[in-house]
Structure 1
């Protein structure tokens, strides 16, 4: 199944997408729902982020090549930071470069979407708490990162967490190609089988620390090839089987 959120007039709706056709539902994937009889062409809809997380949990240095790129030793446990819900935007919505930053970077990532409340979940049970997977971009004000000594400010600006276009419930998180294209040119490319900590490992690990709520998102880390974006650019995160998350870059 492929879930998305969109605007129907002034109402926010969830829908199921198949072969470019979207069937709206009453309800949501996080509780009971009922398919409606009408349908829309995907290309005619204004998409929103496919979920509304109460928090976005992020993993740093989860690809071996990225850790080598930034010359940091491989971690023996996940390196975790957070983005606020106000950073979330959907596909085709703008990434806004803040005026206080001189360098804003892209970071293509596989995103995990939580289906139901999770706390102290064993690794073997983690899949039962996952709705599915979507594309994410952990946008970062790189020049603000080292000054703080931690990552909250550099990662938390409004629009710095694009998600979408859909949540794929059938994707295999351990074998997906993740790519980032900047103005059509491939800048990042890796398979999720290169992760140090798998997506389901992360669900279990994080649920031991905090309660995960329906719609919460875990960004699972970025491969090597991070680089800057500028106003006028177009950034695309592609994950095979999930789709393309496309965002224009504008000046704040």
Structure 2
């Protein structure tokens, strides 16, 4: 099934069930009003939502209405945890190669991960508000999963059983703030502002055989200012699958229902043509494009995003139908301060 959260003026919005073709929706009132409620009582409430989903797809839901992604918050507007990995080691290899550095062997054995802010996600069509263009604004096209309760010490196989939903994400990065933060030795903070998620979160059965043991074997598309810049395969080159990422979190802590785990930037290896490396599938973040340019030509030439720039991120099934709806955002400066009493 497919679930979304509609804006209603509150922090957590209203849960809606969305049809498979993303054409219609129905409020889940009477079953649950918030997605977190469903995650907390999945075995009981998800079956009721599935019944409503079946009715909606069959055209029998009495109070269905046209689905509007612009009315969506993030499917889970705030979460108990947002942990983002770096599961595509090609991305790390490119960054390291661009500065003539080796990738430590440990990176291939133990996932990189940071813990981001989870109190203020933004919706798929909300502006990405950044205080200054000088911060080096970048999009990052990713996949993310939402978990149920998973115990500390879980194996990767056990972790896979705890995945409830899957989404797409724009994990915005402020590249020019990153070096100084990493130099402190304590990780990202100001350089990772609010993350956006696609309009709907979907259960794994919606993905069919494209979901393969913790990897999603479909193409993630990125379109920057109307130009398609990335058509990256999300499955084959994912070094650590989602079960491994979740087990990494669970080594020393319990993972509670409503935790979101990200894949990191989806990235594909280049190919050699006439003695020169090329990346025909493009890129899922500008930083990677700049690394590619440095490797090819000695220096980056693509700038970061400016106010008014747009980014669209979407994933389609093998029949060409959008699965999660599209993240479709504009970069914007802050508005006037909100008056307080």
Confirm whether residue 168 of structure 1 aligns to residue 202 of structure 2.
Answer: yes
Count of aligned positions: 249
Partner of residue 156 from structure 1, selected from 169, 180, 192: 192
CA drift of 1:100 comes to: 8.1
Give the secondary-structure state (helix, strand or coil) at the position aligned to 1:90.
coil
The separation in 1 between residues aligned to 2:75 and 2:309, in whole angstroms, is 23
Q: 1:86 to 1:231 in 2, by over 3 A?
A: farther
Partner of residue 83 from structure 2, selected from 42, 54, 57: 57
Q: Which has the higher contact order (CA 8 A, sep 6+)?
A: 1
The separation in 2 between residues aligned to 1:93 and 1:200, in whole angstroms, is 30
TM-score, normalised via structure 2 length: 0.67
CA drift of 1:237 comes to: 1.4
Give the secondary-structure state (helix, strand or coil) at the position aligned to 1:153.
coil
The correspondence of residues 100-179 of structure 1 with structure 2, limited to 5 A, is: 101-149=134-182, 150-157=186-193, 160-170=194-204, 171=207, 172=211, 173-179=215-221
> Hey, which of these two has a bigger chunk of helix by percent?
2
The corresponding residue for 2:296 is: none
Give the secondary-structure state (helix, strand or coil) at the position aligned to 1:85.
coil
Q: 1:218 to 1:163 in 2, by over 3 A?
A: same
Moved more, 47-56 or 203-212: 203-212
Give the secondary-structure state (helix, strand or coil) at the position aligned to 2:200.
strand
Give the secondary-structure state (helix, strand or coil) at the position aligned to 2:3.
strand
The separation in 2 between residues aligned to 1:38 and 1:8, in whole angstroms, is 18
Q: 1:189 to 1:68 in 2, by over 3 A?
A: farther
The separation in 1 between residues aligned to 2:111 and 2:255, in whole angstroms, is 16
Q: 1:44 to 1:127 in 2, by over 3 A?
A: closer
The separation in 2 between residues aligned to 1:187 and 1:246, in whole angstroms, is 15
Q: Is the 8 A contact 2:313 2:327 kept in 1?
A: yes
The separation in 2 between residues aligned to 1:201 and 1:66, in whole angstroms, is 18
The corresponding residue for 2:290 is: none
Could you tell me which runs of 5 or more consecutive residues in structure 1 were left unpaired when the two chains were aligned.
none
Root mean square deviation of aligned Cα: 2.3
Q: 1:46 to 1:196 in 2, by over 3 A?
A: same
The corresponding residue for 2:273 is: none
Larger of the two Rg values belongs to structure: 2
Could you tell me which runs of 5 or more consecutive residues in structure 2 were left unpaired when the two chains were aligned.
53-61, 97-101, 268-282, 287-303, 317-322, 335-341
The corresponding residue for 1:22 is: 25
Q: Is the 8 A contact 1:112 1:130 kept in 2?
A: yes
Moved more, 5-14 or 163-172: 5-14
> Hey, which of these two has a bigger chunk of strand by percent?
1
